[in-house]
A and B are shown apart, each in its own frame.
Chain A
């Protein structure tokens, strides 16, 4: 079983899982399918239930009701030590009384693997996370990034078919985090195990995931690919949580949807709800007249901020609502002065209408 061929991964099936703490629904009738070999991220604010869901998958939290299957096997009542899933913890949870090799070899010793086989597999796992030769180090001799890698090595060394990761990068500084995101993603492609990843960092989720489940108040608000999530959010919560957006109130008359009396041109159909809002991403709305057939808005510049690679502009539309606009500095020329009157353009494909009610 060489580790450079993907082990056969298992799909995860979650059905109607509910967990309440007193009156609070930590998980409210959650159903979710994680495909075999998929990298799925649970994304949400703190207290949304994403960690509770991961703890249910690992077996540390017992739900009130529901079903959980790894492949065809029902595991909802299986204790954690018999679930055979790998997991990394936010705190890394590396045992301080063991060396690096002691930590990584721990799951193998529990499985009664022969000694020389353990040594071989530990070294190979450490090489996989680029820590070859670190086996004899003590945990307190390692940097944060190295600890993170040891935690990953320990979670994959027994070749589990499912890997759970609880905010693994949150304790690292930004530069290392960016680098580890790429590394973890490459590792997933190499090993191919079904991975459920928990984070509150939307950029991290967008960077790493095959699909993202946005979690709020114990429910899954939307499950989609990063691009669909960003460009076609299902509701106001998702649109607000992922990326920066401004929401403008719009009115519907028959098939025509208008903002401040101005009919809007849009390619994607509007959702079938009573309350609608126009979502504007700062980098999708453009300064200037633009092409024919686009939506144009007259605006009054209230502030311009130079940010090196880009500029950020706040402008007031004629109905009084304020929107943000971000443009690249490259080719921008002179920026408009504060108080100037400008025209802003929003292409029909970037004119996204969403359910305006609070998700």
Chain B
């Protein structure tokens, strides 16, 4: 029976060696993740449970539950995120559809235009909106000289300004996965729908739209999660009237030097994000956020 086990030990050893070598190759990356992700996040959790007296305490979390100002901040954060996501869907889906129907060359040009804002700094874009939307800004002066309205409209330092800025910045994150999903819809599906008796409108709602909803969900999820932790745009365009969690974290550190309170807020935001992703992953393929299509 020796022939059955021929070279078995040697082959097994080769297999083990190969696996070890693969692990060795990936160890620098694993080390990096450990240093810049696992340790800081662990530290964040730790600090959030340290009270003002330096002892273990739940006071940072109790404060969030007891004080109505914190409740308002969480409400505002979710409100802004929901509204931004909703507006991005309303603007982004039709835009992605329009681009997907263009000939390839023109579509590429449009996609570059969509991505163009990424090449300028977030801060610059946000301040640009401030310039455009303020009382003596371009939009107000043009609107009044055209006779569209008489008094300058307040468009910054409030919710309106925050939403305009956030939607502008988030739009590409929605358009790209939706565009990918739309391009993946086989043209034959639409032909088949028409051939079976569906008018263009009916074919859109019964075939095209359902087939692109995974991309839409993926994009919307991406936008929503990014919104939850957003800082610069609401800070600049909200003018102190729209306070989100990230801004409270900053003020806790800069004004009150209360690292425990800031860490607790960070932990809640992180847990909320992970929870949303976990729920979402049960309903859709998260690959679509990254790659689009199937």
Interface residues of A (CB under 8 A from B): 58-60, 79-87, 89-91, 93-97, 106-107, 110-111, 154, 158
Interchain CA distance A107-B192 in the complex, whole Å: 10
Tell me the B residues contacting A by CB distance below 8 Å: 186, 188-189, 191-200, 202-203, 206-207, 210-211
| Closest A residue to B196 using CB positions | A107
Main secondary structure of the interface of A (DSSP, over half): loop
Q: Given A95-B207, A110-B202, answer yes or no on A80-B189 (Cβ-Cβ < 8 Å).
A: no
- Using known A-B contacts A91-B186, A97-B210, determine if residue A81 contacts B191 with beta carbons closer than 8 Å: no
Contact across chains for A111 and B189 when beta carbons are under 8 A apart: no
5 A-B contact pairs sorted by A residue (CB < 8 Å): A58-B191, A59-B195, A60-B191, A79-B194, A80-B194
B210 to A80, Cβ gap below 8 A?
Answer: no
The winner among A81, A87, A89, A91 for most chain B CB atoms within 10 A is: A81
Closest to B200 in A: A81
Query: Are A58 and B197 in contact, CB atoms less than 8 angstroms apart?
Result: no
Residues of B within 8 A of A58 (CB): 191, 195
A-B contact count (CB 8 A): 62
Q: A81-B199, A110-B202 are in contact. Are A93 and B194 (CB under 8 A)?
A: no
List of B residues within 8 angstroms of A79 by Cβ: 194
Cross-chain contact of B195 among A87, A94, A97 (Cβ < 8 A)? A87
Q: Once the chains bind, are B194 and A89 in contact (CB under 8 Å)? A: no
Pick the residue among B191, B197, B211 that contacts A110 (CB under 8 A). B197
A94 and B186 CA atoms in complex are apart in Å by 10
| A8-B195 Cα distance, complex, nearest whole Å | 20
Question: In the assembly, what is the distance between CA of A93 and CA of B192, in Å?
Answer: 6
Question: Which residues of chain B are near A89, meaning CB under 8 Å?
Answer: 188, 191-192
Our pick among A80, A86, A94, A158 for the contact of B191 (Cβ within 8 Å) is A80
A91-B188, A93-B192, A95-B189 as given contacts; A84 in contact with B197, CB under 8 Å: yes
Besides A89-B188, A93-B192, 6 more A-B contacts (Cβ < 8 Å) are A58-B191, A81-B202, A81-B203, A84-B197, A89-B192, A158-B197
Cα distance, A58 to B191, chains bound together (Å): 9
Q: Quick check: A110 and B192 within 8 Å, CB to CB? A: no
Chain A residues contacting B206 (CB-CB under 8 Å) are 106
Q: Which of chain A's residues has its CB closest to B213's CB?
A: A97
> Would B194 and A81 count as touching, CB distance under 8 A?
yes
Which residues of chain A come closer than 8 Å to B198, judged between CB atoms? 81, 106, 110
Q: Are B211 and A87 in contact (CB under 8 A)?
A: no
Write out the residue numbers on chain A whose beta carbons fall within 8 Å of the beta carbon of B200: 81
